[in-house]
Amino acid sequence: MSGVLGDATWRVLWPGRGSAGFGPGNDSSVVVEFAGGGIPSILLLGDLSASAQRAMRVASVTQPRYEVVKVAHHGSADQDATLYDDLGAPIGLISVGVGNPYGHPRAELISLLDAVGADVARTDLHGTIALWPAVDGVVVWRERVGDRG
């Protein structure tokens, strides 16, 4: 599926090619990309685990680079490091609740994002996060300033 929202385009990347064999649940969550129309290119990774992320990567459905990636599964440790490296997003967004019982985002995920050079914005520490394009990349506004964890 794909479509247009104003001058931007969107495309559902997952489930789709390469997703056979993944049953209902997190690994069948929807992954969507947005691009154009004056918004940063962004990939929203749903709740995919590392195995589904690998299958998506092998199916070659993503672009080579995104400006923003919404991290999968609230920053769980179950991530495919090679996918994040391939995506090359300079900004990693983590939507996660304060004090969640799973310990998300996990330290392993924060280390992975550090390794690929991503600026991390987390809703548990930073509250509301806003993004907009700038001449030299993407501006990230955080409601609160906080430690990256």
Parallel, antiparallel or unpaired: strands 39-44 and 68-70 = parallel
What are the tens digits of pLDDT across the range 76-102? 999 999 999 999 999 999 999 998 898
73 closest CA partner among 34, 33, 100: 100
Architecture of the domain delimited by 2-142: 4-Layer Sandwich (3.60)
Residues 6+ apart with CB under 8 A from 135: none
Q: Are 79 and 53 in contact (CB under 8 A)?
A: yes
| Residue 149, pLDDT above cutoff 70 | no
The amino acid sitting at 14 is W
Within 10 Å of residue 118's Cβ, how many Cβ atoms? 21
Q: Where are the domains of the chain?
A: 2-142
What pLDDT is recorded for position 148? 53
Across the chain, mean pLDDT equals: 91
What are the tens digits of pLDDT across the range 97-146? 998 898 889 999 999 999 999 999 999 999 999 998 888 889 999 999 86
